[in-house]
Amino acid sequence: ILNVEQSPQSLHVQEGDSTNFTCSFPSSNFYALHWYRWETAKSPEALFVMTLNGDEKKKGRISATLNTKEGYSYLYIKGSQPEDSATYLCALWGNRDDKIIFGKGTRLHILP
């Protein structure tokens, strides 16, 4: 059974600083890894879908990498802005039991 760990649980970052956090998993037996941003009072919004080892995706100031051999994905935010305050979730689509496993998220707070 896949177990998805996200760290840190919570993060406070000064506006303008860059930051990153981690999603880790014990194996490469999955179809895809997704990153979502979940702002308070809104719905989770997809950021990236990653499938291959070495995948790198970018959307504006946010980027992500995937390393399936060592079992982690990083999400990077460059020059944090107040609107980046949200919970960032990663999720794995497993290919053994076809379950979808979400991590508990990293809660990012941007300090003015």
Partner 1 sequence: KAGVTQTPRYLIKTRGQQVTLSCSPISGHRSVSWYQQTPGQGLQFLFEYFSETQRNKGNFPGRFSGRQFSNSRSEMNVSTLELGDSALYLCASSTGGWSEAFFGQGTRLTVV
Mark the segment that binds partner 1 (CB under 8 A) among 12-20, 46-54, 60-68, 72-80. Answer: 46-54
Largest CA distance in the chain: 44
Residue 105: strand, helix, or coil? coil
Given 12, 27, 54, 100, the residue binding partner 1 (CB under 8 A) = 100
The two beta strands, 10-14 and 106-111, are parallel
Q: How near is the Cβ of 73 to partner 1 at its closest, in Å?
A: 14
- The answer to whether 54 touches 62, Cβ cutoff 8 Å, is no
| Both tokens assigned to 86 | 């949200």
Q: Which is nearer to partner 1, 40 or 112 (CB)?
A: 40
- Residue 31 interacts with partner 1 (CB under 8 A): yes or no: yes
- Residue 39 interacts with partner 1 (CB under 8 A): yes or no: no
What secondary structure letter does DSSP report for 95?
Answer: S
Q: Which residues are near partner 1 by CB under 8 A?
A: 31-32, 34, 36, 42-46, 49, 51, 89, 91, 93, 98-105
